[in-house]
Amino acid sequence: MQKLKQLEGKEVLSKDGKYMGKVSDFTYHGDDIEKILVKMNKDILEDIGEDKPMLSSVKRAISIEKVKAFSDNVVLYDDLSDLHLVFEEFSEENLVSSLRGMKINSTEGRDVGQVRDILVDVENWTSPSLLVKLNKDIIETLDLKSSMLSKSELAISIKHVDKIRDRIMLDKSLDEIGEIIEEEPIKKV
């Protein structure tokens, strides 16, 4: 698992080794990563039949199924000549990065903390956990020792998210969050 911050900025290459641009974000649906968002290299746009903008950057979405490898760089299954067929529409509201900074509430409305980053499983392309900086009073309420937490951060599985609007609403009460911590011990990330 890797933090979203570690994935942003990786270079995206076509199958034939052409530099397409850099990873800028991902889109999600439920707990699945659907698309990779690429901030395109302006010099490559003409090669794929698009106009080169003067000032703004161009972002294109590529289905995660078109990603052959994701390590130091991102390698796609398609050659540059086939990439114009690969780009897909994307919605700004489903960007993984939009979850950063959001506040999280338990079912009884308690402010649990704030999302610092998102942990992404790049092998299965799921976003299994939100890396949450817990509020100090929550740490005290749950009677957690600071040694249990890495900088007071907790990975909360996306399966415990009920709704995402202006805030992230969990499907767990504060007591149940304490049980989650006991069942799924905190791992340093």
All domains of the chain in start order, with CATH: 2-94 (2.30.30.240), 100-183 (2.30.30.240)
pLDDT value for 50 = 80
pLDDT value for 184 = 59
Whole-angstrom distance, CA of residue 51 vs CA of residue 47: 10
Given a cut of 60, whether residue 93 has pLDDT beyond it is: yes
At 111-163, the pLDDT tens digits run: 999 999 999 888 899 877 899 988 888 878 877 655 454 456 788 888 899 99
**60 versus 83: which is more confidently predicted?**
60
Which of these, 95, 73, 94, 77, lies nearest to 86 by C-alpha position?
A: 77
At 63-75, the pLDDT tens digits run: 999 999 999 999 9
Q: What angle do CA 123, 161, 176 make, to 5 degrees?
A: 110
Please indicate, yes or no, whether the overall pTM of this predicted structure exceeds 0.85. Answer: no
At 159-181, the pLDDT tens digits run: 899 999 999 999 999 888 877 76
**Cα 112 off chain centre by:** 20
**Lowest model confidence (mean pLDDT) among 23-27, 41-45, 69-73, 184-188:** 184-188
